[in-house]
Structures are given as C-alpha cells and as structure tokens.
Amino acid sequence: MVNVTGYHILFYGSPTGYQTNRAQISLYNKTKVVAYVRFNDPGMTFENDYVSGDIIRMHLPSTMFENVIDVLRNEKPINVYFAANRGFLGTGKEPVGEEETP
C-alpha cells in the first residue's frame, strides 16, 4: 500500500482517445509516480489492471472520473495498491461523522 500525496490529470481528445483511454490521472507519492488511473468511455477497450516497473495501471469507466476526483480533492489519507490482479484506490480509516475542514 502506497500513500498518495499528489496527482495530475490528462484528457485525451479524438473519437478514440489515446491508447484506448479517454483520460488519465497520475498519482504521486512525493515526486514519484505510483499509479495511473485510466478512464474508458463505453465501447472503448478496457485493459486489465496491472503493475509494471512498480507503477500500478488501474482502469475505470469514464463515469467514475468525478468520483475519483472528489476523493482526491476531499479525502486524506489516500492509498493505492495492487492485489488479486486489480488496482485499489481508497481512503485511510476515518472516524464516523468526521466533518471536512476548510
């Protein structure tokens, strides 16, 4: 499990996107890329999640993009890991009813 400390976003134009993807969020631990979360529109080819060179490649439908951005913007801590041939992105343990601070 790796702590995510930053991210950046790329959107791919054209009817087919780029390398079967419509958008990508790169996840960082400090300055090192630890994962790419790639998004595909309906009808686009979905690749299996995998790890290459210690970097996780996770694939989700484009409909999940806003949810992922919301978690990255509003939650802390964020972790990413690979298990059972799948990428996982989620929050650390938080108390029930915790309010977000501005």
Residue 97 in any domain: the answer is: no
Range of the domain at 22: 2-91
Burial of 74: CB neighbours in 10 Å, binned 0-12, 13-18, 19+: exposed
The share of the chain scoring above pLDDT 70, in percent, equals 95
Q: How, if at all, do strands 55-61 and 32-40 pair?
A: parallel
Whether 96 maps to a domain, the answer reads no
What would the mean pLDDT of 69-83 be, rounded to a whole number? 95
What pTM did the predictor assign?
Answer: 0.90
- Within a domain: residue 82? yes
Reported as a single tens digit per residue, the pLDDT across 46-57 is 899 999 999 999
Query: Which tens digits make up the pLDDT trace of 18-41?
Result: 888 999 999 999 999 999 999 999
Q: Does any domain span residue 29?
A: yes
- Both tokens of 97, joined, read 């009813």
* Amino acid in position 99: E
Please return the burial class of 43, using the count of CB atoms within 10 Å of its CB with bins 0-12, 13-18 and 19+: exposed
